[in-house]
Chains A and B, each alone.
Chain A
Amino acid sequence: MIISQLGYYSLIFGLLTSIFIFLNSSIQLKKNILVISDKSIGLIGFQFFFVFISFISLIFSFIISDFSNETVYNNSHTTKPLFYKITGTWGNHEGSLLLWLLVLTGVLLGFVFKSRNEPNNYRLLTILFHQITVIGFFIFVLKTSNPFNAIFPVQMEGLGLNPILQDPALGIHPPILYLGYVGTSIIFSAALASMISNYVNKSWAKNIKFWILFSWIFLTGGILLGSIWAYYELGWGGFWFWDPVENVSLMPWLSLTALLHCIVTLEKRELFKKWTIVLCIITFALSMVGTFLVRSGILNSVHTFANDPSRGIYILTFILVLVLLSFVIFVIYENKNFTQKSEIFTLSKETAVLINNWFILYFLSVVLIGTIYPIFLDVILDEQISVGPPFYNKLILPFLIPFVLFMSIGPSMKWIKTNFKFGAKSFFVIIFTLILSFITVYYIGEKNIFILLLFIGFFYLLLKSLDQFREKTKNFAQIFSHTGFSLLLISILLNSFSSREIVKNIQVGESFTLKNEKIIFKKIAIEKEKNYESVVGFFEILDDKNTIINLQPEIRIYNEPEMATSEASIKTTLFKDRFITINIIKDQNFFNVRYQHKPFMIWIWISTLIIMLGGMFAIFRKNKEVNI
């Protein structure tokens, strides 16, 4: 079809534009013509435009169900609702890489506009380095993952989209996540450029901070959406399982968080130049490693769209080239352009940032090693092990306590030097923390001293963060994100310790109890939708005050592809979620019913939103001279 042709040739033109921009900026740099004319900005605009046209063509092919296109044929079906036809565009390997490319070219365009007041040699170099990544991905898409492959003869009907991906949260999860993920590419390009152009200073920090915050906010949002989806769609009531694919998004998030704190130090004090650059490189490398792990099919999960070794090898080679390139540049310019100045006083905000980085990088190494160690063990010794939640809990939880304590006092440190006063106020905060923690631990009936310590740490962080609202120069970015983070930890801990669940095999008309609630299985009904049929169970929950809560979990049998999914029914209140799923037991009249109490679930989502809000405060704060 003509649309696919348009999309394909648009990609080719995009690649040609990139090569031209690359050559053009190298020539300019060589001849020392340090201007960025409207023409070159126009070229970058065209590059984005070509990918955009290509992307729109693919979406259009999905909307009209053009089954002469292989990607559409493999991942769509005429009976699907329009929304899922559209989201199906990025619900597969080829389409998601096109989205990747779209964001990749988009952030460069954004960067060129946002950096108008920066030196032109720095901008030119950034464009140059970015083109290397862009060209690499263009070739990757065209060579190994062309979304516009034609199939002949033209098929009448497509194979359909995996039912568990047919979900609103998952529809917007990839674009949001990719904005964060791929946003790190411009940080990488700019870091290399700033090194060569000797521009690693306060103004650079100010300029690149926007992109760090941008990536960080979207990555947080993307992870949040993924967790929410996992919570209600996968049907077991969990939101995080330390699955490799989750880890892969957490790793760049961790290094971005570390980078975020570093860049502020660079902006205020011109410190940690080398380390900031290294973090910029690490962050992008981790995004790429994530792409490699997910796309190569090494990992076993719902995100693995295809199992194609040639793709894996291409990305792996590409990562190596980029890392090697940045390593060489780093070694050459390390001592040339960096003058490390001034000492750090022990009690200062600088120290606090260092400790922050120390812990975050440790958490990062736990996640990284936990994710890739099993792969290496499998390849080298042919032994398969699973690294799951127990590993991460054991290595991360104990370290969280000192981490949150440092995090509590860090913000009240001053730049350069702090004189600590231990006044009555600090004393009250501690007393109040202890009271809160003891009450909580007593309330959830946990006798373990370690759990108590965790609560003390988390509550101390919460109170210290809230306490800052009373200060004269408020830094809302920091207050909100730290408050959000402490609330997140508290909610997760409460949630994991006081979740209750019961699994029963029952027939219609029977009932069972959980704590002081009675769960009655009223009836079942069959409903027919466009793309699935569903068996709906009607349940009534009677609590101790005899209020009735109705829950209607479903089993959906999708037609294309034929597959059954279990849809949870959730009743959310401020303090707990009631969560119910049903499953059919083969050849019997019984249903497998799983009923759960998930306390403080909504607070996990709210606190993550508060963390993001903190990031937004930082973006929109207009260059006012405030501390972090």
Chain B
Amino acid sequence: MFMKSKILLTIKILIIFILISFNLKNITMASTFSEEQTINITKNLRCLICQGQTIHESNSDFAESMKKYIKGELQNGKTDEEIFSSLVEKYGQWIVYDPGISRNTLLLWALPLLLFLIGGAIIGKRIFKKI
């Protein structure tokens, strides 16, 4: 029984870690407009006419105009979330590197975590079998 509670504790800790990590972005992003904020946004956007490059890295015309657009939007007081969602609306989910949680991506997030739990159960059974 002692071991069972240990497993439960591990799982609880894991859940806390996951929650923390999901909130990471919200914590680290300040609301004042800065160069860094533009970089943070453009680093998470795909340059649609390049091969596997972010808008931040690319110097293509498309990327340059996007950078200008994003700077403008930030100056207008738009938040990161608003900018991302307006871009997704216009260009589709393909443009953002963060797949986000939606109906289509639920399995993407859940499958690895599920496998982790299954793996843990198998190993736990093996280790604590005798007790």
Interface residues of A (CB under 8 A from B): 234-236, 238, 241, 243, 300-302, 343-344, 346, 351, 354-355, 358, 361-362, 365-366, 369-370, 373-374, 377, 381, 383-391, 393-395, 397-399, 401-402, 448-450, 501-502, 566, 583, 586, 592
Whether B112 contacts A388 by the Cβ 8 Å rule is no
Whether A386 contacts B96 by the Cβ 8 Å rule is yes
Whether B17 contacts A398 by the Cβ 8 Å rule is yes
The size of the chain B interface, using a CB distance under 8 A, is 52
- In the complex, A401→B16 CA distance in Å? 12
Whether A302 contacts B39 by the Cβ 8 Å rule is no
Report the nearest A residue to B61, measured CB to CB.
A586
Chain B residues near A395: list those with CB within 8 A.
109, 112-113
Known: A365-B111, A366-B112, A369-B111. A300 touches B93 (CB 8 A): no
Report the nearest A residue to B13, measured CB to CB.
A402
For A385, give its contact among B25, B99, B123 (CB under 8 Å): B99
Whether A390 contacts B98 by the Cβ 8 Å rule is yes
Report the nearest B residue to A361, measured CB to CB.
B119
Whether A386 contacts B99 by the Cβ 8 Å rule is yes
- In the complex, A174→B99 CA distance in Å? 31
Known: A243-B52, A344-B127, A358-B119. A390 touches B44 (CB 8 A): yes
Chain A residues near B51: list those with CB within 8 A.
300-302
Known: A343-B129, A377-B104, A398-B17. A385 touches B94 (CB 8 A): yes
**Distance to closest chain B CB from A280 (angstroms):** 18
Whether B17 contacts A399 by the Cβ 8 Å rule is yes
Whether B17 contacts A385 by the Cβ 8 Å rule is no
Contact residues of B between 91 and 125, Cβ < 8 Å to A = 92-99, 104-105, 107-109, 111-113, 115-116, 119-120, 123
Chain A residues near B93: list those with CB within 8 A.
383-386
For B98, give its contact among A300, A373, A391, A401 (CB under 8 Å): A391
Whether A355 contacts B104 by the Cβ 8 Å rule is no
Chain A residues near B94: list those with CB within 8 A.
384-386
Query: SS class of chain B's interface: helix, strand, loop or mixed?
Result: helix
Known: A388-B97, A450-B21. A501 touches B44 (CB 8 A): no
Contact residues of B between 1 and 38, Cβ < 8 Å to A = 3, 10, 13-14, 17-18, 20-22, 24-25, 27-28, 35
**Distance to closest chain B CB from A282 (angstroms):** 13
- In the complex, A369→B112 CA distance in Å? 7
B73 within 8 A of A: no
Report the nearest B residue to A242, measured CB to CB.
B97
Whether A398 contacts B52 by the Cβ 8 Å rule is no
**Distance to closest chain A CB from B131 (angstroms):** 8
| A-B CB contact pairs (8 Å), 8 listed | A236-B53, A302-B51, A361-B115, A362-B119, A369-B111, A386-B96, A386-B99, A395-B112
Chain B residues near A366: list those with CB within 8 A.
112
Report the nearest B residue to A502, measured CB to CB.
B35
For B108, give its contact among A300, A344, A387, A502 (CB under 8 Å): A387
Chain B residues near A389: list those with CB within 8 A.
44, 97
Chain B residues near A343: list those with CB within 8 A.
129-130
- In the complex, A236→B57 CA distance in Å? 5
Whether A448 contacts B107 by the Cβ 8 Å rule is no
**Distance to closest chain B CB from A165 (angstroms):** 13
Whether B99 contacts A448 by the Cβ 8 Å rule is no
- In the complex, A291→B39 CA distance in Å? 34
Whether B104 contacts A381 by the Cβ 8 Å rule is yes
Chain B residues near A381: list those with CB within 8 A.
104
Chain B residues near A355: list those with CB within 8 A.
123
- In the complex, A362→B54 CA distance in Å? 27
For the A-B complex with A354-B127, A383-B104, A397-B21 known, give 6 more contacts whose Cβ atoms are closer than 8 Å. Answer: A236-B57, A388-B96, A388-B98, A388-B99, A449-B20, A450-B24
Whether B24 contacts A385 by the Cβ 8 Å rule is no
**Distance to closest chain A CB from B54 (angstroms):** 8
Whether A592 contacts B109 by the Cβ 8 Å rule is no
Whether B59 contacts A401 by the Cβ 8 Å rule is no
Among A358, A381, A388, A397, which residue has the most Cβ atoms of chain B within 10 A? A388
Chain A residues near B21: list those with CB within 8 A.
393-394, 397-398, 450
Whether A362 contacts B112 by the Cβ 8 Å rule is yes
- In the complex, A523→B115 CA distance in Å? 57
For B116, give its contact among A362, A394, A450 (CB under 8 Å): A362
**Distance to closest chain A CB from B130 (angstroms):** 5
Chain B residues near A358: list those with CB within 8 A.
116, 119-120, 123
Report the nearest B residue to A302, measured CB to CB.
B51
- In the complex, A448→B29 CA distance in Å? 11
Whether A390 contacts B97 by the Cβ 8 Å rule is yes
Q: Across chains A and B, which 5 residue pairs bring their CB atoms closest together, nearest first?
A: A388-B97, A398-B17, A390-B98, A236-B57, A384-B94
